[in-house]
């Protein structure tokens, strides 16, 4: 088992939560974000520049990935103008989709 508590196995029975993650993973932008963040931590501005997408498009995908626990904020830095800049990194997590006869309210973390 991984040393870091963020590095977990997430088992999702087929439900609304698993459908949300499947939608996220079907987004080309989300996949590209995950690939970049798997290599190195980056800010939203750096990601938008690297991917050639608008910041509001990127923000939507980042929010979805954060909510699903697939990425996390590594740290926060401050711009010269005093604005907060979040630096993101990929979470180390294995996700398993499990067909089930009964609907489970919450995902199982091992």
CATH number at residue 91: 1.10.10.10
Kindly state whether residue 110 falls inside one of the protein's structural domains: no
Kindly state whether residue 3 falls inside one of the protein's structural domains: no
pLDDT the model gives residue 94: 66
Residue 29: CA count within 13 A, CB half-sphere: 19
Look at the chain and report how many structural domains it folds into.
1
pLDDT tens figures, 62-80: 999 998 888 999 999 988 8
The structure's pTM equals: 0.71
Kindly state whether residue 44 falls inside one of the protein's structural domains: yes
Kindly state whether residue 2 falls inside one of the protein's structural domains: no
55-67 vs 28-39: helix crossing angle, rounded to 10? 80
Kindly state whether residue 48 falls inside one of the protein's structural domains: yes
Kindly state whether residue 109 falls inside one of the protein's structural domains: no
Q: Which domain holds residue 29?
A: 16-97
Kindly state whether residue 78 falls inside one of the protein's structural domains: yes
Phi, psi dihedral angles at 27 (to 5 degrees): -85, 120
Integer Cα distance of 62 and 50 in angstroms? 14
**Given pLDDT bands bounded at 50, 70 and 90, which one contains residue 110?**
very low
CB 104 within 8 A of CB 19: no
Kindly state whether residue 24 falls inside one of the protein's structural domains: yes
């Amino acid at each position: 088992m991984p040393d870091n508590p963020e590095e977990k196995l997430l088992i999702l029975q087929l439900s609304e939560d698993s459908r949300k993650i499947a939608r996220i993973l079907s987004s080309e932008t989300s996949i590209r974000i995950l690939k970049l963040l798997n290599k190195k931590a980056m800010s939203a501005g750096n990601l938008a520049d690297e991917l050639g997408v608008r910041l509001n498009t990127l923000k939507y995908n980042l929010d979805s990935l954060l909510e699903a626990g697939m990425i996390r904020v590594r740290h926060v830095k401050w711009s010269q103008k005093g604005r907060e800049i979040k630096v993101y990194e990929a979470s180390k997590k294995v996700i398993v989709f499990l067909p089930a006869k009964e609907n489970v309210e919450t995902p199982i973390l091992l």
